[in-house]
Structure 1
């Protein structure tokens, strides 16, 4: 059963961790003024500045920061500095009882998708798929719409995504309702065969990705299809596939690949959502109830906080 963390209030403290790759430290520092403009105090994980190859510190160090932030009673929300690679390496070592006993807002996307999936399936806690500090908010050209997404952490609001936000295209007509899950396609595919294998049964599934050629997107969608994950779903939201273009002369297009697998799934599907590695990037809660109506080109998602 899904449960939600408590909303933020001005004066609350948020914890910043880097559970994947080393974040851009200049962007991370620049993002602090935004958090302070929201009336929030900030606490850094001990290892946020660590580097271990393509990881932001050893597995033990990144795990320690995650555990400590959930256990810290002063911290009311945990915001990831960035993505990259590495969260799957610590997923099996997380003490999910700590998260169950200390529920709080958890926010990020991209490689953080593995943690969204693991946390929801092990605890039932809703989390947030949204722009991160070093990767998005701290950039000099950070979009105001991306920043505005953080407002949903301060009060329970129903989020409606319609063509007022971006043009949407119906891929398969119909209506669907269910818990919304998903995120980065590469990470969702990587859960297969693990204790954290994504459960898409009767779910509305969001997918997005970056820098993957159409044949790589094809491979991942085919793997999910053969595992029954696409036909199990109630519906699909296709987010931003940034720079997912062919690098060779002979190739299917991304659109051809997506159309093929969505038609195989034969479930209601909309594409065109500015969710993912894009700017602006609209944040949404995961693990909560949602409904979609392709005729109205609209998705309604309940609040992710109490």
Structure 2
């Protein structure tokens, strides 16, 4: 995505979009009326962000860059007990990770919770968490990848917005010397947390399906979403704009996961579909070539529906992973010349 275009769009309130076609004109499925989202208070200077590890472990020195940058933004930082803790691949035992997250959910002085990193492990503790205080006094929960569990669970049960974005392990050691795309994506976290209306654009793709849709934004990592099927954290996609991203999978595995979404009717009544980065796809074994691309897999799963679909959106396990407000109303516009997503 063009950096200049991104900066002008994210910082200019009310930046114009192409005239929106009516849903009827493009033949999109009518989406049910969405409930007004519950938005946690946006952060102000002096507010506290807690850092915890509900999934994989991270060393204390590996969060120092994130601390420096967020303190420069004017926030205080509370380091959780799981930062620096380790139980094999996890950031502490299940009990330690659950208790650390619970403490941050319950602490009224903490206004946002950032996951130290992804990996795996949130699903092991999600059912132990008590969200009653969080529900009464919402706060921003920040992360992606394995944090998809938190985004989907919170949205399904409480309708509270959360932030799908980079985590501590993605902050550069020297912000001023980092690549422009890295600077932009990190700054998008600040913009989102402080209440800026988010707007993104992506290059057109010949495989895109044109149209305009409005709905609550939901989604995240495909394998995590698929793994939550038939659980208490199962994603609710009805009438929503769904975004998906994935990394390090075989094509046949992607087909299986997308097939699960199709067979469980998670793709039936979307307002729109956003496909982000599907990166580092594993090569087929010789003689076991799958014979289909990611484009093929997605388009065959949604061929019976008429909502807009876009590919290569700047979200996922990649440098251009911008902050997205899950649970908030957005407008997706896909045409021959551009793709835009506007809060």
Superposition TM-score, scaled by structure 2 size = 0.82
The CA deviation string for residues 101-151 of structure 1, in whole angstroms up to 9 with x for no partner, is 2211111000000110001111111000001011x1145657111211122
Q: Which runs of 5+ in 1 are unaligned?
A: none
1:231 aligned counterpart, secondary structure: coil
Check if 1:148 corresponds to 2:190.
no
Partner of residue 161 from structure 1, selected from 192, 200, 209? 200
Compute the displacement of 1:265 (Å).
4.4
Aligned residue pairs total 299
Asked whether the 8 Å contact 1:182–1:188 carries over to 2, the reply is yes
Q: CA RMSD in A?
A: 1.9
Distance 1:286 1:169 in 2: 27
Counterpart in the other structure of 1:113: 148
Q: Which runs of 5+ in 2 are unaligned?
A: 1-34
2:166 aligned counterpart, secondary structure: coil
Shift in alpha-carbon separation, 1:156–1:110, aligned structure 2, 3 A: same
Check if 1:246 corresponds to 2:283.
yes
Distance 1:45 1:188 in 2: 26
Asked whether the 8 Å contact 2:204–2:338 carries over to 1, the reply is no
Asked whether the 8 Å contact 1:22–1:50 carries over to 2, the reply is yes
Counterpart in the other structure of 2:220: 183
Compute the displacement of 1:260 (Å).
2.1
Counterpart in the other structure of 2:65: 30
Counterpart in the other structure of 1:298: 339
Check if 1:236 corresponds to 2:273.
yes
Distance 2:271 2:321 in 1: 24
Superposition TM-score, scaled by structure 1 size = 0.91
**Which structure has the larger Rg?**
2
Distance 2:340 2:237 in 1: 18
Deviates more, 1:22-31 or 1:49-58: 22-31
